[in-house]
Amino acid sequence: MNLTRIATAREAAIKHVYDSIAPWKYFDGVKRVIDAGTGAGFPGIPLSLVLPHTRFSLIESIQKKARFVDSAVDSLELANVHVVAQRAEERALACRPEVITARALAPLSRILDLFREPLKRGARLLLYKGPNVESELAEVNGHRVSARILCRYELPDGCGSRTLIEVKANRLLRPESSK
């Protein structure tokens, strides 16, 4: 389907599957996760296999990719996964996730703009980033959020290093019912 640039099975296993599940423990215990811009289903599909009690919404605005991911989810019979062909920022407003995750979606400042409202309502961002994330973290000033590195990890076979960061709002909005 030509959904990723990775050409070999070994490289795909490392750069997609291993990378997706390496920080799994930071998702453990979460009830609802949105995988924003899931692309070919990463990190959502591998995480859903490791965390069968977590509900995953894999969001992809490009129809071709969403159809592929939906067929993969059907083939794997993943009862805890739902694929939605929609813009992730729109879906995040509608379904109120605990966590929004993404791999290679956009620079942090852009992601903060996209998910400002879900953050204000208590969602956390768990974002897969490359090794040099410090400059992006420095850009969060003025966004009323706190961001921190949760973990760094090396991919096997010298395929690079990754960083998982967490972003939370400094101040949450009151729920509609308590106003």
What pLDDT, on a 0 to 100 scale, did the predictor assign at position 50?
97
List strand residue ranges (DSSP E) for 17-123, in order.
32-36, 55-59, 81-84, 99-103
Are 147 and 108 in contact by the 8 Å Cβ rule? The answer is yes
What's the mean pLDDT in 130-155?
A: 89
Among 2.40.37.10, 2.30.40.10, 3.40.50.150, 3.40.30.160, name the CATH number for the domain at 9-178.
Answer: 3.40.50.150
pTM: 0.90
**Cα–Cα distance measured from residue 31 to residue 14, given in angstroms and rounded to the nearest whole number:** 27
What lies within 8 Å, CB to CB, of 18 at 6+ separation is 155, 156
User: What is the model's pLDDT at position 144?
Assistant: 87
Structure confidence at residue 5 as a pLDDT band (50, 70, 90)? low
- Residue 21's nearest CA partner among 168, 164, 132 is 164
pLDDT at 11 over 90: no
User: In this structure, which amino acid lies at residue 76?
Assistant: L
Q: Where are the domains of the chain?
A: 9-178
Q: pLDDT at residue 179 above 50?
A: no
Q: 3 pLDDT band (50/70/90 cuts)?
A: low
- The whole-number pLDDT of residue 177 equals 47
Closest CA to 152 of 169, 173, 132, 125: 132
pLDDT at 152 over 60: yes
**47-94 residue pLDDT tens:** 999 999 999 999 999 999 999 999 999 999 999 999 999 999 999 988
Across the chain, mean pLDDT equals: 90
